[in-house]
Amino acid sequence: MNLEVAPVNKASLSKQVADQLQEAIIDGSLKADDRLPTEDELAKRFQVSRPTIREALKRLAAKNLIRSRRGPAGGTFVNRLDANELSDNLTTASTLFVSMNDISLDEISSTRLELESLCCQLACQNHSEQDLEKMQQELLHQTDESISPEEFCAADVRFHRAIADASHNRMLSFVMYTLIEALQPVSNMIAYHYREREIIINQHKRMLKAIQDRDTNLCVAILKEQIDYFAQLHEEAQLNHKAKS
């Protein structure tokens, strides 16, 4: 572990300490699972008090950058970040961004089409049997007529997430988690009163078959068909809302 620190000034000491430690994590000076120095050692290095160090560590823990463990082998360690946890945070931020900035359906649809088309292309090339099984499991869940609209939407999200995972491009999967989980549920829940589940299921079945057959053009064409279908549902929902108001 190679941790170099600089003296801090008196304003917002805990924030400055936290910022320096965060920068050390970002630039690789502190790596995942590295043990941080003790509070006493950090206080000496930064020339601040232990309460200041403790507050700085709380700031990092709130960002999920570090974790504490008790016992003989305990201490404070740099977290190995989980894509699902980061995705949850980004999903919340993305949902707020869409709702607060009045992002249009056209913007959402075009972004999803471009990025998920790349997922489809890579999934056709790189999928494994396990990837296909995940998609098939979600399809089976979607065909259960007893599940609620919310559960159907969740299965829909997981199906598209499985396509992203089948790309075997971790960065693309991470970006798609944000888009699929933040934007697609919003789209689904607004329109679910107007859609036919069988149409969605049929589209998913054909997409799975196209991926299995490594037919990129067909898979992307079905994806576009589904996105256009959701756009139509939104338009119907908006017209119905206006008619009632």
The pLDDT of residue 157? 87
Return the exposure string of 220-240: e unless at least 16 CB atoms fall within 10 Å of the residue's CB, then b.
bebbeebbebbbebbeebeee
Q: What does the pLDDT look like over 201-226, one tens digit per residue?
A: 999 999 999 999 999 999 999 999 99
State phi, psi for 76 to the nearest 5 degrees.
-110, 130
> Going by C-beta distance under 8 Å and a sequence separation of 6 or more, which residues neighbour residue 195?
229, 230, 233
Q: Is 84 helix (H, G, I), strand (E, B) or coil?
A: helix
Band of pLDDT at residue 8, cut at 50, 70 and 90: low
Of the options 3.40.50.170, 1.20.140.10, 1.10.645.10, 1.20.120.530, the CATH number for the domain spanning 83-244: 1.20.120.530
**What's the pTM value of the predicted model, to 2 decimals?**
0.69
26-38 b/e with 16+ CB inside 10 Å = b? eeebbeeebebbe
The answer to whether domain 13-78 has CATH 1.10.287.180 is no
Q: Is the pLDDT of residue 11 over 70?
A: no
**Same fold: 13-78 with 83-244:** no
